Amino acid sequence: MPVPALASPGAARGRSSPAPPLGRARCARSPRSATRRRRPRATASPRPRHHRSCTITGAAPGLREPGARDRTPGQAPRPAGARRSSSGRRRSVRFEPVDPRVSFPRLEERILERWRRDRVFERSLELRRGGPRWVFYEGPPTANGRPGLHHVEARTFKDAFPRFKTMTGHYVERKAGWDCHGLPVELEVEKEIGTRTKRDIEAFGVAEFNRRCRESVTRYVEDWERLTERIGFWIDLSQAYWTMSTEYVESVWWSLKHLHRQGLLYQDDRTVAYCPRCGTALSDHEVALGYATVVDPSVFVRFPVVEAPDPGLVGASLVAWTTTPWTLPSNLGLAVDPERSYARVRAEGGDLVLAEGLVRAVLGEGAEVVETFPGRRLVGARYRPPYENLDGDTHRVVGADFVSMEEGTGVVHIAPGFGAEDLELGRREGWPAYRPVDDAGRFTEDAPAAFLRGRPVKETDPDIIEDLRDRGLLLRAETYQHTYPLCWRCDTPLLYLARTSWFIRTTARKRRLLEVNEEVNWYPEHIKHGRYGDWLANNVDWALSRERYWGTPLPIWRCHAGHDAAVGSLRELSELAGRDVTGIDPHKPYIDEVTIRCPACGEEARRVPEVIDTWYDSGAMPYAQWGYHPELGRGVREFEERFPADFISEAIDQTRGWFYSLMAEAVLLFDSTAYRNVVCLGHIVDREGRKMSKSLGNVIDPWDVLDRHGADALRWFLLTNGSPWASRRVSQEVVEDVVRRFLLTLWNVYGFFVTYANAEGFDPAGPDVPPAERPPLDRWALSRLARTVAEVREGMERYDAAGAGRRIEELVDDLSNWYVRRARRRFWNPGGEGGRDTLAAFRTLHTCLVTVSQLLAPFTPFVAEEIWGNLAGPGAPDSVHLSDFPDPAAFAGLVDEGLEAAMAGARRIVELGRRVRTETRTKVRQPLPRAIVHHPDPAALEPLLDLVAEELNVKEVVFAERAEELGRWRAKPNYRALGPRLGPRVKEVARALEEDEGSLAAALARGEAVRVSTSGGDVRLEPADVDLVQEVRTGWGVASEGGVTVALDLEVTPELRLEGLARDLVRVVQDARKAAGLEVTDRIALGIEASGEVAEALRRHRAYVGRETLAAALTEGGLPDATHREEASVDGVPVRVSLRRA
């Protein structure tokens, strides 16, 4: 079958007849041993050995490619025009020469300019218009600071999958957006103007403050846009939505009015997490973003009983535990569990009462328990509080079911002003929410002790502890390490305060939220029912209001009678106000100046002062980005066509941020999920695993990485290095490793192809060799390609960029370290002898490179574009991003599982052979007489033995029937493993293994278990229970692994010795050619001065040396008119090389 999409009309027919420069050996039976033998390879023209990694300048004959002369690194290559091929025929250069010293950053800048000039992104959208719509939502960043490396991570994933889907025929619009409101913006402006409190802001002026906030969120947009373009993130920035725009705000107002009508938006007094620095309450999902490990005081306090239903308790003290001593001045009660057992314990200073099960933990093993009784006996008792605060029916013991018996004392200190359970219990008992703390987190004048007033509450903890100690009320004071919420923007410890706030009743839709979550594909999957699912299951009402300034104003107007009117638009507001306010800025303070007539009573109504949670803004983007407003007839069609999203992706902490707000609003407003697939991303950390921060000095500027290594390298690392949801350890070194390990490997294969394709005049539009008629190596490469296409497409469809990328990297490694390595000679075609064999090699590698460029397009869009643009040829789209992603069905006929398995076996043999050479310190260029191989499936390897022989640099390859023919195995007990298990019987096992004639050890070497008889019965031995050693024949080297054994005959005859020296000579000349700046096709006049064995090797293999180095004339001596001279050493013998162009 033709190679998909790349075969040309008029392909040659008939059987191919590959004719490698050396004769093909045939397999024959050896009469003197029970083996199958490869016929010895010809020795007159030994093939050169080459380094494993493919390099442009190191290829045989190892020279610079056409057009590379006199070029500085990174400079665009110049066209070489018409040149003569190695066979002397005049060829036209069809491909732009490839710079071996490529600068990827410069290449990328050139590609960016071309994309801009040719409108490639816009055309990619136009091309797919009318195709199935695939919806992507951009989580809006806040542009009040420069983008960091973590933003590159998210934007890379948000680019890769839309690129992929576009290439699979989908219409993928990508609308950018900017998040404009909220505390992050306000805090940055406060730093600029030097304010510290809300009072300072109001003195500064809310109008000017908000003006600066508006300016702040546009200040770095240009930086964001520049980075966005530089990393290749294709997104429409020209049509970006802004959450501060009037249409966006009105859309949010519409949603809040809708919720208000349903009774889902309400005001209530509740305990909220409150930031005293920012002066506002936070929602639960904001609280979840800021937990940290802190050390707080841990105090055990006496509460003396002064009155009780059981008079015997009077005089004893209840013991309560708290980590917030600053709440003790607000204590109004104590709670116990009526059904649990409590104990009265004898103690100095009076008896103590606490839960029986916690006595030892609190008081120690020696505590003397006087009596035990159920907690209900304590209910109704009255005590003297640590601080006298309120009169009335307070300071008594009540029963509660939330009292913990896992820590503390089983007696809970209740302050209704500072805890959700406390507030609920206080309401039940009729206690007020006593809270002598102001909005700045300071004690007010109502505090019951003078030393507290006017001070920040957390600051008073040490003084309260000392005061309790002085008055004999402190039983014990310690410290306690635990996690505690800090403000997610300013790191101030949050206070739990009872306050009046506005809430969205998300608990009313909890069941539906859980149902909708089941429809979403989470990556990783465990997030669905773990981190995110647990969050939904424990959902609480959304604390929506913020007592701040720069945000979407809460659209509730209230009259003095307490009637609330929810307003959905400026047009509706104009109607209620009796004047046109449609042109007003819908932010504070201007919107607050608009009064209306209350629709309920006709009295004047003013807007409530709060703004809303900025996370509600970002969660509104599916509809608000289009200005969605059914009452105004705006954005309805645009929204409905693009909801829900097929794909979103952000950092994993957004499970309780944007991911939640998107889903919550979609369920509340549209009874639907907001997205179908979500990829969670891990955090970026430094090389030590630490969070990057300016204080640690470990922040990496993304521009430093991009300027040094380029965007493709960074993108490849982020997309393929480990699980996306795991933390990424990033440094300049790991990105440099990507360049070296992957990009340069690919580039060198690409450069190798272009160099020889130009030298030989290969024309992609010319004749073809059908894949079925190509040599096994070509068919193997195409089979690997076909499998890669299928696996990459499947991986990308499953949002597994890492798995798909690793598969591409494996293919590139296969091409570099096996295909090009083994097929190299077929591309170098002196005399034009290769015919269809050479054509097949060019066709195969061309197909692989063009297809790889398409596979890489979503990952590394720049280098993919460069390769495609040079190789795809006439008739192909002018950008790889305008091409179709490779279709596995079109490649299915190329898959050959048997050949792939056989080639894997051949490569295993070669790997073991190399190991032998390394262990025996035998040079790679030194030919050896033979290799003997034991393999489970020798028949499958027969067609590949030429490859094995060439790669191992041996004259023949022989199959052994049994591995034991290559050396006897010996097994000894692993005493560390067997000693504890067998005790004295391990000696019997050792004796049995010592007497073994080899069968037991051989079985263990094959990975099998064996049984050995002992006085206590049979003992089963696994391979891990023994240490295996192979006894090798003298003069041989052996290596084994996974049931495959390779033995190399290490005897070097004088003839083989000279052949190896000749190969070393070729290497020296190739290095000299490279240093002289010669091109692949340049023929030379060559002089070699040597002595001894090296001179003899030159005489014996003169034709070989001349042919391999393109020497038109070879002199055994110096060349008088040489333009380049070089001295070297071959096996310790000095060698002088002189050369010039012929």
Pairing of strands 545-546, 564-566: unpaired
Pairing of strands 542-543, 521-523: unpaired
Q: Look at residues 286, 276, 322, 288 and name the one whose alpha carbon lies nearest to residue 302.
A: 322
SS3 394: coil
| From 4, 48, 66, 179, active-site residue | 179
Tell whether the torsion through CA atoms of 448, 454, 460 and 463 is positive or negative. Answer: negative
Q: Look at residues 175, 283, 263, 255 and name the one whose alpha carbon lies nearest to residue 667.
A: 255
| From 140, 325, 385, 586, active-site residue | 140
Show the beta-strand stretches assigned E in 594-691: 596-597, 604-607, 611-612, 648-651, 677-681, 684-685
Residue 988 burial (CB < 10 Å; 0-12/13-18/19+)?
middle
Q: Residue for token digits 């306090």?
A: 301
**Buried/exposed 472-485: b ≥16 CB within 10 Å, e otherwise:** ebbbebeeeeeebb
Which phi-psi region, left, alpha or beta, contains residue 808 (left: φ > 0; alpha: ψ -120 to 50)? alpha
Rounded Cα distance, 601 and 559, in Å? 8
| From 542, 557, 658, 828, active-site residue | 658
Q: Look at residues 318, 310, 273 and name the one whose alpha carbon lies nearest to residue 413.
A: 318
| From 694, 874, 1054, 1120, active-site residue | 694
For residue 444, what are the contacts with CB-CB under 8 A and spacing of at least 6? 436, 437, 438, 453
Q: Are 1141 and 1083 in contact (CB under 8 A)?
A: yes
What is the crossing angle of helices 711-720 and 702-709, to 10°?
110
Rounded Cα distance, 996 and 566, in Å? 92
Residue 510 burial (CB < 10 Å; 0-12/13-18/19+)?
middle
Q: Look at residues 473, 469, 466, 475 and name the one whose alpha carbon lies nearest to residue 367.
A: 475
The answer to whether residue 140 is catalytic is: yes
DSSP 522-586: EESTHHHHTHHHHHHHT---EE-EESSSSSPBP-EEEETT--EEE---HHHHHHHHTS--TTS-S
| From 310, 691, 707, 936, active-site residue | 691
Rounded Cα distance, 945 and 955, in Å? 11
List residues bridging with 1137 in a β-sheet: 1088, 1126
Tell whether the torsion through CA atoms of 886, 889, 894 and 899 is positive or negative. Answer: positive
Rounded Cα distance, 351 and 365, in Å? 16
Rounded Cα distance, 362 and 343, in Å? 12
Helices (H) then strands (E): counts for the chain: 39, 43
SS3 841: helix
Q: Are 482 and 315 in contact (CB under 8 A)?
A: no
| From 234, 615, 716, 818, active-site residue | 615
Residue type, 370: V
| From 654, 926, 1030, 1070, active-site residue | 654
Rounded Cα distance, 665 and 657, in Å? 12
The answer to whether residue 658 is catalytic is: yes
Q: Are 59 and 1071 in contact (CB under 8 A)?
A: no
The answer to whether residue 694 is catalytic is: yes
For residue 459, what are the contacts with CB-CB under 8 A and spacing of at least 6? none
Pairing of strands 1084-1089, 1111-1115: parallel
SS3 155: helix
Active site residues: 140, 179, 615, 654, 658, 691, 694
